[in-house]
Amino acid sequence: MRDLLSPWGELRPQATSEWQGEVALPAALASFYEEIGPWGEVHEKHGPMGLSIAAGGNPVDIPTLKHLWSRQACYRWHGNTGERLPEWQDHWLVIATEGSNPFMLDTISGQVYFALAGGKPDFQLFAPDLLTAFAAIACVANTMHELDEQAFDETYELTAAARARVVDDLDKLLAGSADASQMLAAWRWYC
């Protein structure tokens, strides 16, 4: 996992005491932050910013543990008023975003879902667990980085060869634990 994520910024273990949430920190997240710890670039006024993973389109941002709870704004509660949003379930936790589109950990099942922002959440199953989700995102980003400009045609559309390479690399990573094409469809990755 560290090898997949390290191209996207510094990794530094983070103690569970950094958690600012009003709910208990799920064990899978605690382990991820204690063992891997997305740290990223350090901003002069805000400190470490987490990882920003360029997987095509908007980057996928994985915050530091200290900032993870504040990233629930506009999903769990209204960003301006702080009022709790009724459609957001207590056991849902945003773990990363692509632009404003959330990757959500269901803290009961351990599965990770993805939805497009705006309106009522329409989550699609993305990965069977947290580590698979982050590994898959990093795998796609690493493949796109290797392909560089060859991923796109002259109109900046993703080429069929690039899509096939991403699916192939992702299938190798998943080794039967999930379906690459299904994951990319749930993510709406270049659909």
The predicted structure's pLDDT at residue 177: 73
Query: Do 168 and 79 have their domain in common?
Result: no
Phi-psi region of 93 (alpha: psi -120 to 50; beta: other; left: phi over 0): beta
Same domain for 101 and 144: no
Answer whether 150's CB lies under 8 Å from 160's CB: no
Regarding whether 169 and 75 lie in a shared domain, the answer is no
pTM of the model: 0.94
Residues 107 and 47 in one domain: yes
Backbone angles phi, psi at 50, to 5 degrees: 85, -170
Beta bridge partners of 191: none
89 shares its domain with 154: no
Burial of 114: CB neighbours in 10 Å, binned 0-12, 13-18, 19+: buried
Single out the residue in 100, 129, 158 at which a domain terminates.
129
DSSP tag of 182: H
> What local confidence, expressed as pLDDT, does residue 139 receive?
98
Taken in order 65, 69, 72, 78, is the CA torsion positive or negative?
Answer: negative
Same domain? 109 vs 156: no
Residue-level pLDDT at 121: 80
Q: Are residues 35 and 89 in the same domain?
A: yes
Assess whether 76 and 125 both reside in one domain: yes
- Return the C-alpha torsion angle 134, 67, 80, 52, nearest 10: -40
Last residue of a domain, one of 129, 146, 174: 129
From first to last of its 191 residues, what are the pLDDT tens digits of the chain?
A: 999 999 999 999 999 999 999 999 999 999 999 999 999 999 888 889 999 999 998 999 999 999 999 999 988 888 888 888 888 899 999 999 999 999 999 999 999 999 998 877 889 999 999 999 999 999 999 999 999 999 999 999 999 999 999 999 999 999 987 799 999 999 999 87
Residues 86 and 66 occupy one common structural domain: yes
Q: Are residues 143 and 124 in the same domain?
A: no
Residue 64: the pLDDT is 97
Cα separation, 7 vs 177, whole angstroms: 24
* 31 in Cβ contact with 166 (< 8 Å): no
Q: Can you give the residue range of the structural domain that contains 150?
A: 134-187
